[in-house]
Amino acid sequence: MPIHAKQRTCKGGAALLLLVLSLIAAPLTAAANKPKVTILATGGTIAGAQPDTNQPGYKAGSLSIDAILQAVPGLSDVAILKGEQVANIGSQDMNDKVWLKLARRANEVLASPDVDGVVVTHGTDTLEETAYFLNLVLDTDKPVVLVGSMRPATAISADGPMNIYNGVVVAGMPAARGRGVMAMMNDDLHYAAEITKTNTTHLNTMHSPNRGRAGTCDTGKCTLFSPPAQRHTAGSEFRLASNLTELPNVAIIYAHANMDATLINAAAKSGARGIVIAGVGDGNMTQPALDALAALAAKGVVVVRSTRVGSGIVKRNVEVDDDKLGFVASMEKNPQKARILLQLALMNTQDVKEIQRMFDEY
Ligand code: ASP
């Protein structure tokens, strides 16, 4: 009998030890399984604060990244997070300096084996531009997800916290690797090459009008759709030289009825190396505008025909004879993305055929 009692004590002790060990190990395993996501903050409405919660007025870029993250319930359950403030501006003020700083820091962070993905908080006004710029210059396969919000952080029913939550989940998903830069807004995931802002104030402002969304999320349960069609990130030929301080001067000029050559010539006079025309319809413009652009193209200014329409493809030689006039057709790039691609292209070449190849591939 005493022997049995001793055996029971030994068995009981071992079971207790196993229980204690498993209680210690469980959180350690859960932590080891959680993705590591770095958040690079740049400002925007997602960091905006209102003087009066019941009025629409607010100042973008008011709150720090720590304050923003604290407002997202359960965020530390889905990832191990680090936050860094790269800038704190309204994205209407986005500029080459912040872009270069952000891209270089993102490249550094993404090169670390301790990071699975990056989230960039950003204003929505130029979110599509920053997303597309990063999509072309980041040398990574890891997910990079931009998130913004239409309502400031202090608003009734602010949309930022859910966008951050979903964005962090996507940035930590192994299946999101190799898809380039994306953006998470209002439960929809968009590819950098596709996304565009379509409404001044509504929550469902972001759309991907040409090829559709990259995926969708419901409170952190995310589904990815088809991979992107264009070249990006690790597969891109564009890299930032370490001594680069600004991008080439490229102007966007908006076409309209009765357009003359005044603004086109002014852009060239002010040193533009490239001009993107936000053409009417399929990248069209008046004859005086065409003549002025053809004259500049003959002198080496690179002219890209895009469209002010908001969706569709501007192809070569449809109503405008691009071959004869020496123009580039923007394909699916809207004017603001065409400008970025042309800026990066001009750092490598002035050759119009080569630049058209880039517009076909990215
Ligand atoms: N003006 C703001 C910005 O782009 C708008 C927003 O974030 O929704 O920073």
What does the pLDDT read at residue 17? 52
Nearest residue to 174 via CA among 93, 79, 253 = 79
pLDDT surpasses 60 at 358: yes
Report the run of H or E that residue 298 belongs to, with start and end. helix 287-298
What does the pLDDT read at residue 54? 83
Phi, psi of 253 (to 5 degrees): -125, 130
What does the pLDDT read at residue 257? 98
For the question of residue 121 being annotated catalytic, the response is no
Single-letter amino acid code for the residue at 353: K
- 42, 45, 124, 233: the active-site residue: 45
Average pLDDT in the 277-283 region? 98
Is domain 250-361 in CATH 3.40.50.40, yes or no? yes
Average pLDDT in the 240-258 region? 98
CA of 46 relative to ligand 1 center, distance in Å = 8
Contact present, 66 and 121 (Cβ < 8 Å):
no
Domain(s) of CATH 3.40.50.1170: residues in the chain: 33-235
Choosing from 42, 45, 336 the residue with most ligand 1 atoms within 8 A of its CB, the one to mutate for a pocket test is 45
pLDDT surpasses 90 at 7: no
Q: Whole-angstrom Cα distance, residue 88 to residue 57? A: 18
Single-letter amino acid code for the residue at 312: G
Contact present, 42 and 88 (Cβ < 8 Å):
yes
Nearest residue to 341 via CA among 331, 168, 42 = 331
CATH number assigned to the domain covering 33-235: 3.40.50.1170
Q: Is the CB of 332 under 6 A from ligand 1?
A: no
CA of 101 relative to ligand 1 center, distance in Å = 19
Strands (DSSP E) found in 186-297: 188-191, 196-197, 206-207, 215-218, 221-224, 250-254, 274-279
Task: Return the sign of the alpha-carbon dihedral for residues 58, 59, 60, 64.
Answer: negative
CA of 200 relative to ligand 1 center, distance in Å = 10
Domain(s) of CATH 3.40.50.40: residues in the chain: 250-361
Q: Is residue 130 helix, strand or coil?
A: helix
pLDDT surpasses 90 at 12: no
Q: Is the CB of 123 under 6 A from ligand 1?
A: yes
Ligand 1 atom index nearest CA of 150: 8
Residue 188 neighbours by CB under 8 Å, 6+ apart = 204, 206, 213, 215, 216
